[in-house]
Every structure is written in C-alpha cells, then in structure tokens.
C-alpha cells in the first residue's frame, strides 16, 4: 500500500465523479448558446456497477473520505440510488451531489434513503427572465421546489451561484436574501475560463471584490478564516447569516486542493486546468492504478489556468 501524495505533500481524500456528460440545461457558462441539443444526447458510459468497482479500487489506494457526484446533470443518471448505496457499502459515507435541481424534488427521497448526505444546487437567478437567460430552460419553480424538498428531507443544502456581469449580477442580493430566509448556505462563484470560455471571460467576469462591494452595501460583513481544503471563503453578516465566495481566478486556493476528478468514461484528472485524461477503466492491476494516479498528481498546478475542456465533461 502506497501513501499517495503529490510533489508538495498534498493527499487527496475527495473524489469528484462526473456520472455523465449530458444535461437538461444549457447554462451559458457551461455550453455554447446553441448547445442544448448536443448537451442532452450523449450516452452514459459506465454503469453503476462499473463505477462502484472503479471507485472501490481507488478507495483502496486513496482512503477516500468524500465522494461528490456531478455531471453534466447527475439526476439524469440511471440507477442513481443504486450507485449511492454501492458507494456507501464501500465504507465511504460522506456522499454529496452537485445538481441543477430540476429533478431533485422527484428523486431526493430515494437518494436520501440510499445514503446521500448533501446537495449543492446551482441557482443563478430568482427571476424567470434571468433564469432562462442563463439556463435556456424555464425551470425556476422546479429548482426551488427541489431545494425546499431536499432541506425537508434533512440533507445539507447549499446554493451555488455563478455570477456574470450584465447577465445575472442584479440577482446577487435577492439570492442572498432567499438563502438567508430559508437558512441555506449560498456560495457565489467567479466565472471560470473553461470550455468555450477558455481565455474569454473578461466581458462577463464579476470579481470577488465586486461581490463584496455589492453585498456590503446592504450587510455588515466580517471575513472568516478559510478552512484547509475548502474552495470557498466565508463571511459572517451582522444579522447572523453567512455566505461564501469561490474565487478561483482572483484568489486561487489550489495550494490546499485535496480533490481528484473522475469522468464518465473512467478517466481521472488531477487538475481542473488539465484536459489530458488518464484512463483507468481498463486498468486491472494495483500497480497500474497507482501509476495512473501518480500521473494525475503530476497534473496538479498551484494556480487555476483554465482549460478547453467543458464543465459538461468534468463537472467543475
């Protein structure tokens, strides 16, 4: 058994698993404006049994603590409760999911029963017009219903909001108020240069500083110390609530990254900025698996630089 660490001593206990590279939304920060048709037609590659087997072999080497299920849209994945149950039976109990929330209200009960503990729901607007402009889908009501349903089922719920200048930045304060009213953590994300936005985020980029200026115009805020391995820095408000900002561009947090990524084809990536897949699906030996993991660790960077790979493929 090897102790797997990278060149600066980081170990990796979190595995983000992209279950499929299709989605029922076509968010502008994820796919091209006309990308909805392509986004919903790609096939599922790995079955739940295949994924559980591969995750189990990775767990034997990495001693994983957390699995985060992503996509595309993970709620489109067949046999999702079976997959969650299989992961839990590996001895990994911190199972989380990032979703657009459109199908969440219908599926959250079976997922909670299977062992899902936490959901991050992408919600980029509270007005129908802004929601449609970002997602190209009229589904705001269903997403909000999903958030409330997950909360009622006892899951930890967080809201993720990608902020884009001139597109949904007017939604920052309404979303903050919504989260505070419902007792839900919200994190605002800087736009990332991935896929079709690689090298082309300037016109829509809304920085951490701009976010703080907007929020502090209404709330008195106080920054918390960032926890090791967290992607977000949090601020407390004088009214007793808190919010986070994931500032991948203006305030990189790569130095304490503890995550690896597995895509729907069974390829592993050490870094979101790498678009070089390392295939593990057909690797059967422990030695071969460890070699693939070491190659993935070699991709690790100290600062996010973006990639031509779409978020639809790797799940953020």
Kindly report, residue by residue over 138-147, the tens digit of the pLDDT: 999 999 999 9
Q: Does residue 236 contact residue 180 with C-beta atoms inside 8 Å?
A: no
> In which residue are the tokens 């999903």 written?
146
- pLDDT bracket for residue 1 (50, 70, 90): very low
Q: Does residue 63 contact residue 92 with C-beta atoms inside 8 Å?
A: no
Rg (CA), the chain: 19
pTM score: 0.92
- Mean pLDDT, rounded, for 264-282: 87
* Residue 165 per-residue DSSP state: T
SS3 at position 312 = helix
Structure tokens at 181: 């009213």
Percent of the chain with pLDDT over 70: 87
CATH 3.40.50.10190 fits 14-314, yes or no: no
Q: What is the pLDDT of residues 217-263, one digit of tens each?
A: 999 999 999 888 888 999 999 999 999 999 987 887 777 888 999 99
Residue 280 has pLDDT above 90, yes or no: yes
Question: Considering the chain, what is the average pLDDT of its residues?
Answer: 89
Question: Alpha carbon of 127 to those of 45, 212, 241: distances in Å?
Answer: 36, 22, 23
């Amino acid at each position: 058994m090897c102790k797997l660490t990278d060149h600066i001593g980081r170990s990796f206990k979190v595995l983000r698993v992209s279950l499929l590279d299709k989605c029922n939304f076509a968010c502008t920060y994820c796919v091209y404006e006309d990308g909805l048709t392509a986004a919903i037609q790609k096939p599922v590659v790995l079955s739940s049994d295949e994924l559980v087997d591969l995750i189990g072999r990775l767990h034997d080497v990495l001693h994983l603590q957390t699995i985060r299920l992503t996509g595309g849209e993970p709620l489109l994945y067949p046999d999702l409760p079976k997959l969650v149950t299989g992961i839990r039976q590996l001895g990994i109990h911190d199972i989380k999911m990032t979703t657009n929330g459109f199908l969440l209200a219908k599926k959250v009960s079976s997922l909670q029963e299977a062992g899902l503990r936490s959901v991050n729901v992408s919600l980029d607007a509270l007005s129908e017009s802004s929601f449609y402009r970002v997602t190209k889908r009229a589904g705001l009501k269903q997403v909000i219903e999903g958030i409330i349903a997950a909360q009622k089922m006892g899951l930890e719920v967080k809201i993720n909001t990608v902020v884009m200048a001139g597109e949904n930045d007017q939604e920052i304060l309404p979303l903050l108020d919504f989260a505070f009213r419902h007792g839900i953590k919200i994190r605002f994300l800087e736009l990332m240069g991935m896929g079709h936005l690689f090298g082309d985020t300037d016109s829509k980029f809304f920085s951490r500083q701009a976010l703080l200026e907007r929020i502090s115009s209404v709330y008195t805020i106080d920054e918390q110390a960032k926890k090791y391995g967290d992607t977000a820095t949090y601020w407390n408000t004088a009214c007793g609530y808190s919010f986070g900002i994931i500032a991948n561009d203006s305030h990189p947090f790569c130095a304490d990254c503890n995550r690896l990524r597995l895509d729907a084809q069974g390829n592993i990536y050490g870094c979101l900025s790498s678009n070089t897949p390392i295939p593990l699906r057909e690797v059967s030996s422990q030695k071969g698996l460890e070699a693939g993991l070491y190659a993935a660790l070699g991709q690790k960077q100290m600062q996010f630089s973006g990639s031509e790979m779409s978020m639809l493929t790797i799940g953020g």
